[in-house]
Amino acid sequence: MHLGMLLEMAADGLADRVALGPLAGGLTFAELGHQARRAGAALAAMPGDRVGLIDLNSPAVPLTLFGSALAGKPFVPINYRLADEQLRAIVARTAPATIVVGAGVAERLGDIDGIHLVTRDELLALAADSEAKEADGWGGDPEDIAVLLFTSGTTGEPKAAVLRHRNLTEYVITTVEFAGAADDEVGIVSVPPYHIAGVSASCSATYSGRRTVQLESFEPRAWVDLVRAESVTHAMVVPTMLGRILDVVEADGLGLPSLRSISYGGGPMPVPVIERAVTMLPHVGFVNAYGLTETSSTIAVLGPDDHQAAIGSTDPEVRARLGSVGRPLPSLEVTIRDPAGVEVPTGERGEIWVRGGQVSGEYLGIGRIENDGWFPTRDEGHLDAGGYLFVHGRLDDVIVRGGENMSPGEIEAVLITHPAVEEAAVVGIPHREWGEQVVAAVVASGEVTEEELRSHVRAQLRSSRTPEHIQFRSELPFNENGKLLRRVLRSELENAFT
Amino acid sequence: MSTLVKPGTRYKSTVCDTEVIIVKPASAAIDLRCGGHPVVQVGEEAPAGLTLDPAFSAGTPLGKRFADPESGLELLATKAGAGSLSIGDVPLPLKDAKPLPSSD
């Protein structure tokens, strides 16, 4: 199975539906097929073994994704927000390659060995030229590499995750029904192209036949305006986006009447934010999706019915599921294991392991750890008696204080329930006696003292989990996808408190 | 008899436009047919002179997944056609899959 197959099926079976852009004047699936085949022929003829992309969202993103597949070359979307030096280093690792670049990128890159640049506008012009040659077939073998994604590197040197055609297509055909979208469905894409959610959005929308409108990059006012202007029905957001969208909607009071579904993922969603969203947008079905780059996106979902059941329940176990990521997809297996790799009983915490056709677990130049197909995610979690998966954070972030293991997420979840706390992050820093000590950074929205917050935590968790020190700040260090930069915060708090 | 061992292997009908791809292989060799006649691998020459068997002419819709509970075979229709799929004379049933909430 191959991304070229998904495109061909949509171009054949959904030919006249609009795929991309406004209803009047947008690109139909048949045209998307032709344009991607022209991009494919052009990219095949350009220098290099890979096709990079350093740009905001535009029609060039799906055209380069599918064009690379048809050209038989891996697609490598790269983070345009990286500092120049890091960007050049990653581009050099991508060579030999042709890179599709947006405005201003060529100047930042300069000359790099083995790198050929083509601008977004040049690519779009080639694809739109009805005289141009079209690539035929699907473009290659299911074992070929479809996408290389550099991980965000919040904890070290970025690694390139390898997603093969069979991984991505297995994900799409087992989670999305072909042509399953109603013909009035419209999805908005505002996540960046170098995020796994950007890649899966293009693939799933094409296979389901859902029209896509794009925002160059996320900005809450522009997002709300585009949703209203295009009667958008489906959206995917990361947690930080949702809170900012709700602020805009609350301020203008005009609602988001066309929306039917919001899926969220990419990091832990604070329960107060999702409760506010469910209250403000009662007509919207919420979907919590949990996944990793290395698993071709989603591996567990908490659907709209699960959200309603949890919110409406008096059973504490059912109610707690609002903080879960739902149940694993039926097409894969999830287990929780101890550090020795042995499965733990239901309800106990351990490392989340996953196995299935969509799981790659492979990195360029490193390969794949063979565990009979199982991929250890480095995420800590547990399964409840109903099979719901709870994610507690990265295992590498676990704090070990005097031999006791504790998850920052558990302490953060308590801090955030204090009415004067807007954002909270907890890390461990070295301590002479305990090995590590618990410290917190808090963005406050009202008057509150350190001692009040410490008592608030102590009242709900044991005293060893109460932060030794709390730093009040105007903001926390996040990367552009809303992922907390724990390494940065840890070194800042270490400087402040030791 | 087709062997159908490898996921990703593509087959086509000899009497209509239907094409399928193997998602999960069968546990043993099986006789996959479309329109009443054994399928051939895409890229291979189809035997000439065959005609669509009216008993297997309900059609294969594009994008549907089929599953044979007995052999474990699962496949996806990548091109639609006038013939319908069967294993020997037994029609191949559609895969029963509950729709998942949209997460992209």
pLDDT of residue A393: 83
Report the alpha-carbon distance of residue A179 to residue A190 in Å, rounded: 23
Report the alpha-carbon distance of residue A334 to residue A388 in Å, rounded: 11
| A13-30 pLDDT tens trace | 999 999 999 998 999 999
Q: CB-hemisphere CA count at 13 Å for A70?
A: 29
Flag the least confident range among A48-57, A346-355, A395-404. A395-404
Q: Is the pLDDT of residue A220 over 70?
A: yes
B42 falls within a domain: yes
For residue A200, the distance in angstroms to the closest alpha carbon of chain B comes to 6
For the domain spanning A305-396, the CATH number is 2.30.38.10
Which residues neighbour A170 within 8 Å (Cβ) at sequence distance 6 or greater? A1, A296, A331, A356, A357, A358, B23
B103 falls within a domain: no
Whether residues B102 and A297 touch (CB distance < 8 A) is answered with no
| B60-96 pLDDT tens trace | 999 999 999 888 999 999 999 999 999 999 999 999 8
Q: How confident is the model at residue A451 (pLDDT cuts 50, 70, 90)?
A: very high
Report the alpha-carbon distance of residue A230 to residue A17 in Å, rounded: 15
pLDDT of residue A394: 81
Report the alpha-carbon distance of residue A252 to residue B87 in Å, rounded: 60
Flag the least confident range among A141-155, A169-183, B46-60. A141-155
pLDDT of residue A266: 80
Number of domains making up chain B: 1
pLDDT of residue A250: 96
DSSP A343: B
Could you give the C-alpha distances from A278 to A239, A265, A273, in angstroms and in order?
Answer: 14, 16, 9
Domain with CATH 2.30.38.10 in chain A: 305-396
Structural domain including B55 reads 10-91
Domain with CATH 3.40.50.12780 in chain A: 3-217
B25 falls within a domain: yes
pLDDT of residue B40: 94
pTM over 0.90: no
Beta carbons of A269 and A262 less than 8 angstroms apart: no
Between B97 and B72, where is the model more confident?
B72
Report the alpha-carbon distance of residue A363 to residue A357 in Å, rounded: 16
Say whether residue B96 is in contact with chain A using an 8 A CB cutoff: no
| A222-260 pLDDT tens trace | 999 999 999 999 999 988 889 899 999 999 999 999 999
Q: Is the pLDDT of residue B5 over 80?
A: no
The complex scores an ipTM of: 0.92
Flag the least confident range among A138-147, A203-212, A430-439, B15-24. A430-439
Region A19-46 average pLDDT? 97
Best of A6, A29, A174 to disrupt the B interface by mutation (most B CBs within 10 Å)?
Answer: A174
pLDDT of residue A434: 82
Short-list A285, A288, A259, CA closest to A271: A288
pLDDT of residue A154: 53
Say whether residue B64 is in contact with chain A using an 8 A CB cutoff: yes
Q: How confident is the model at residue A211 (pLDDT cuts 50, 70, 90)?
A: very high
CATH top-level class for A398-497?
A: alpha beta
Short-list A380, A306, A492, CA closest to B101: A306
pLDDT of residue A397: 84
Compare all CA atoms of chain B with the CA of A300 and give the residue at the minimum distance: B103
Estimate the crossing angle of helix A271-280 against helix A239-252, to 10 degrees. 40
Say whether residue B94 is in contact with chain A using an 8 A CB cutoff: no
Q: How confident is the model at residue A439 (pLDDT cuts 50, 70, 90)?
A: very high
Best of B9, B23, B98, B103 to disrupt the A interface by mutation (most A CBs within 10 Å)?
Answer: B103
Q: Is the pLDDT of residue B1 over 60?
A: no
Lookup: tokens for A356 = 């299935």
pLDDT of residue A81: 85
Lookup: tokens for A233 = 């029905």
For residue A472, the distance in angstroms to the closest alpha carbon of chain B comes to 35
pLDDT of residue A481: 66
pLDDT of residue A478: 84
Q: How confident is the model at residue A156 (pLDDT cuts 50, 70, 90)?
A: low
B100 falls within a domain: no
For the domain spanning A3-217, the CATH number is 3.40.50.12780
B49 falls within a domain: yes
Write out chain B residues lying below 8 Å of A298, CB-based. Answer: 103-104
B52 falls within a domain: yes
pLDDT of residue A360: 93
pLDDT of residue A96: 97
Q: CB-hemisphere CA count at 13 Å for A48?
A: 28
Per-residue H/E/C for chain B:
CECCCCCCCEEECCCCCCEEEEEECCCCCECEEECCEECEECCCCCCCCCCCCHHHCCCECCCCEEECCCCCCEEEEEECECCCEEECCEECCECCCCCCCCCC
Whether residues A287 and B78 touch (CB distance < 8 A) is answered with no
Say whether residue A289 is in contact with chain B using an 8 A CB cutoff: yes
Which residues neighbour B85 within 8 Å (Cβ) at sequence distance 6 or greater? B18, B20, B32, B33, B34, B60, B66, B75, B77, B91, B92
* Chain B contacts in chain A segment 439-468 (CB below 8 A): none
B69 falls within a domain: yes
Percent of chain A with pLDDT over 70: 99
Q: Where are the alpha helices (DSSP H) in A209-323?
A: 220-229, 239-252, 271-280, 304-312, 316-319
pLDDT of residue B3: 56
